[in-house]
Structure 1
Amino acid sequence: MSLSQEKIGNVLVVSTAGQINSANAAQLESQLLAIVEQGEHQWVLDMGQLDYISSAGLRVVLLLAKRLKQSAGRLVLCNLQPHVHEVFDISGFLSILTVVDSRATALAFE
């Protein structure tokens, strides 16, 4: 699991790669929430290089979304691989999170 981030305008784009599973979810959670605490409230989570996400990983994404909502922020997910998209669909997360196809669409999302 690796993260990279870049600031585009007032939006922080965080890209994930590899796998989010029970072995690394707690570390990922602390990394992401620390960034929120630093004042980043407009997020795009680009999952184009994410190969796998477990229920522990879904929990981290949901926690991030809730924390951003509490601070009047926004989270938009993009570029989900088909099998990752299926996990979000089966879990019901597609109905509660904003998921778009591309980074460009995510950045334009209001």
Structure 2
Amino acid sequence: MSERFRVAAKKNDDVDIVFFIGRLDVTSAVQAEEFIQNLIETGARKIGIHCGELSYMSSAGLRVILGSFMQIRELDGDVRLSNLKPEIKEIISMCGFDEVFSIYPDDIALIESYSS
């Protein structure tokens, strides 16, 4: 049985931290995309995606984070990543996304990066 995907968020000052939990694949990508889209539509411009609870990310998941990045950049915002497990970091690096996204070891560093 596959692990159910969940998504949640918390706001820290003006930074929205999105928690992806479980498997981010073709079946869960729509849920993730709609969640981030809702944040953007309600004014979020500084988004951090916490990947520490992700057990798997497919190309559909990569498309979600890249699409979010491109959309929010048009609005003078940014999407940054934190807490990447080694297997998720490897996927991000293999696709060259480590050259696109700012990546931080934890949420504190990510939040502080928006202040500097």
Identity %: 25
Scaled by the length of structure 2, what TM-score is found? 0.91
- Give the unaligned 5+ runs of structure 2: none
Amino acid at match of 1:40: A
- Point out 4+ residue stretches in structure 1 off by more than 2 angstroms: none
Deviation at 1:16, TM superposition (A): 1.0
Distance 2:27 2:7 in 1: 15
- Give the unaligned 5+ runs of structure 1: none
Number of equivalences: 110
The match for 2:35 is 31
Distance 1:93 1:100 in 2: 13
Contact 2:8 2:18 in 1 (8 A): yes
Distance 1:41 1:57 in 2: 20
The match for 2:64 is 60
Structure 2 residue 108 is the aligned partner of structure 1 residue 108: no
Scaled by the length of structure 1, what TM-score is found? 0.95
Distance 1:108 1:58 in 2: 25
Deviation at 1:34, TM superposition (A): 1.6
